[in-house]
Amino acid sequence: MVFNQITPLHRFFFLLVFSVALMIVDHRSPLLVSARAAGSVINRPFQFVINLPAATREWLDAHYRDGTLYRKYKALQAKQAVLEAHLQRYEALQAENRRLSRLLSASPRPGERVLLAEVVEIGLEPFTHRIGLNLGVESGVYSGQAVILPEGVLGQVSGLGFKHSVVTLITDPSHAIPVQIQRNGLRTIVQGLGVSGQVSVPFLSAQADIRKGDLLVTSGLGGGFPAGYKVAQVQEIVTDSTAEFLTVRASPLADIKFAGEVLLLSSNAPPSVPPGSAGRGAR
């Protein structure tokens, strides 16, 4: 035959082109629908033969003389499925319990109290970083109240409703928070840049004692934030001999992306000083 006289390489390319042509025709045209249906009918005897051992085993298991054992086996299978479904819920509750325990481990100082609030809205619009909480005036939330996560300070309450409040994050460009360098006590402020995961430390003179990796904590000045809570870590310091101040960038330690609940800190009485009075504050 002529086809047998063709070299294997030419036969391979011929079959390849033919296969691609069939796939294109099948994808773009209904011409091969009937052929595919006929093929499925032809394949049924082969599928029956392939499935025959498994079907035979199922039939034998179902009609085995010790039917009690088979029924127990099926009952245990059903019970296992139910228990596995319950286990998934249990694991979810365990994870939630660990998260809440970790959140509450950020214990308040003496004279402070906390409220646990749920994050119900996250709005990280360009240059405006705010979130919504499910607690408001009814629960004792007040304007300027500090909001934290286990990792550190998240922001301040800047808007109030009866059962809802708005928190301005420390990354918001309108927000400034008084801090000090934990290593040496040098006081400064942390100001938002409108960029997620980044804040600035402005107005530090070129001679200021600040280093990469320094931890910035709340200083307690201004009355908005209790002292000693972590805020950010210095990531970059740019010096310029012609500039009067350093350019310092830091990364906030608290990340709202992974938070479902937050803590609202308060002293026995709301602060009399407006929030952010040391800087521009939360609006």
Please classify residue 99 by burial: count the beta carbons closer than 10 Å to its beta carbon, then call 0-12 exposed, 13-18 middle and 19+ buried. middle
* Token pair belonging to 2: 């002529």
Question: Which position has the higher pLDDT, 105 or 112?
Answer: 112
Q: What is the pLDDT of residue 255?
A: 85
Q: Which of 200, 213, 218, 197 is nearest to 147 (CA)?
A: 218
Q: What are phi and psi of 250, to 5 degrees?
A: -140, 160
Q: What is the pLDDT of residue 269?
A: 45
pLDDT bin (cut points 50, 70, 90) of residue 276 is very low
Model pTM score: 0.59
> Average of pLDDT values for 174-203?
92
> Average of pLDDT values for 211-226?
89
* Token pair belonging to 76: 């245990």
Residue 279 has pLDDT above 50, yes or no: no
Percentage of residues in the chain with pLDDT exceeding 90?
33
Contacts of 115 (CB under 8 A, 6+ apart): 135, 139, 140, 141, 263, 264, 266
Largest CA distance in the chain: 101
Q: What is the pLDDT of residue 46?
A: 78
Lowest mean pLDDT among 2-6, 123-127, 139-143: 2-6
CB atoms closer than 10 angstroms to residue 77: 9
Amino acid at position 224, single letter: G
> Average of pLDDT values for 267-271?
50
pLDDT per position as a tens digit, 145-165? 999 888 889 999 999 999 999
The mean of the pLDDT values for the chain is: 80
Q: What is the pLDDT of residue 260?
A: 82
> Average of pLDDT values for 252-267?
84
Q: What is the pLDDT of residue 109?
A: 57
How many Å apart are CA 211 and CA 188, to the nearest integer?
14
pLDDT per position as a tens digit, 23-76? 887 777 777 677 767 777 777 787 878 888 877 777 776 665 555 666 777 778
Cα distances (angstroms) measured from residue 207 to each of 77, 101, 128, 183, 211:
73, 42, 33, 16, 11
Q: Which of 26-40, 95-109, 228-242 has the highest mean pLDDT?
A: 228-242
Q: Which of 70-74, 123-127, 132-136 has the highest mean pLDDT?
A: 132-136
> Average of pLDDT values for 249-254?
94
Question: Which position has the higher pLDDT, 218 or 5?
Answer: 218
Q: Which of 143, 166, 188, 172 is nearest to 278 (CA)?
A: 188
Residue 111 has pLDDT above 60, yes or no: no
Question: Which position has the higher pLDDT, 41 or 175?
Answer: 175
pLDDT per position as a tens digit, 197-218? 999 999 999 889 999 999 999 9
Q: Which of 7-11, 103-107, 224-228 has the highest mean pLDDT?
A: 224-228
Contact 142, 265 (CB under 8 A): no
Contact 154, 177 (CB under 8 A): no
